[in-house]
Structure 1
Amino acid sequence: MTSSQQPPLRDAFLDAMSGLVSSVTIVTTDGDAGRAGATVSAITSVSADGDAPTMLVCLHHETSAAPAIMANKCFCINVLSADQTEIANVFASRTPPPGGDKFSAGIFEPMQTGAPGLKSALARFDCTLVSDERIGTHHVMIGAVRAVARNDGAPLLYGKRDYQALK
């Protein structure tokens, strides 16, 4: 097969990545730069040890959440449950927010850093921003976890370019 018959590397990469399954989260912030949030599936823990546990979040550079997080220096990772596809769609801008405000799609309370935490989320990781680096189209942000809250339930998952549930 010649290279002209092979799919471009980007397309092959995206197709292969669609086979990875990840939790669906909304990442939120609030502060002097305002309140913002986005649906994100690219998150992971970095370390449980050190001065504080750390988390990694990747946000597209065109989201309103990325510059707000950089200015506010805090964010909350809200892990969504299997029955929260609607709020995921609102924060992904797939569905118009009720009344024009994304945050009216759920009940939020300020976490220790001031970032909004979704009360019904499976887990909330309240973080202060430690570092931010732009790589390609995304900001790779590292946050130091300052507080954690948890509820019971099954997670909302994303794979094969759609929401999934554990079976």
Structure 2
Amino acid sequence: MPITSESYREALRLFPSGVTIVTIKAPDEPRLHGMTVSAFASVSPSPPLIMVCIDHSTSSYPLMERAGTVFAVNILPRDKMDLSNRFAWVKDEDRFAEGAWKTAVTGAPILEDALAWLDCTIYARFAAGTHTIYLGEVQASSVPRPDDEPLIYWNRGYRRLALADD
């Protein structure tokens, strides 16, 4: 029996993940773009590669397909839940009204007080069902808040880390 979309989502929402804001700077596009993304992972330390998955139905997807587009992955600390929600639900043009933003090497927006950030060029892309997997080659990175806790998403809600009992 084939798996349904609902049973697929039900299983995957039990996998906890960190929360990121992926920000995008596309050529010939004056406005900044960004979205909350939990489908993020490291791929390779040499060359330094990461991956993000972007849904084809988002307003950011066509921008990611443009030649010369760059992006940054901003790993969120626990106190950025409101900013995560803003980038998930507020209209694209209003998302950057909050937060302290700067640029690094590529020109993609960087959240100054992220837990960590990675500034990337697009290394490769792979269509995969309703999403495209983008490999980003990291051009610069920083860890502004190394001692803070990350924002975690699990089972339809934000969570905190806790040490496991031995």
Query: Is the structural similarity TM-score above 0.5?
Result: yes
Please name the residue that 2:79 is paired with: 83
- Per-residue Cα deviation, 1:107-126 (whole angstroms, up to 9, x for no partner): 11012000000001001000
TM-score by length of 2: 0.87
Structure 1: gaps of 5 or more residues: none
Alignment pair present for 1:47 and 2:47:
no
Shift of 1:8: 4.7
CA distance in 2, matches of 1:91, 1:8: 30
SS at match of 2:8: helix
CA spacing shift, 1:166–1:40, aligned 2, 3 Å: same
Aligned length: 157
Please name the residue that 2:56 is paired with: 61
CA distance in 2, matches of 1:53, 1:96: 32
Q: CA RMSD of the aligned region, Å? A: 1.8
Please name the residue that 1:129 is paired with: 122
Please name the residue that 2:99 is paired with: 106
Structure 2: gaps of 5 or more residues: none
Shift of 1:133: 2.1
Please name the residue that 1:138 is paired with: 131
Say whether the 8 Å CA contact 2:25–2:69 is kept in structure 1.
no
% identity of equivalent residues: 36
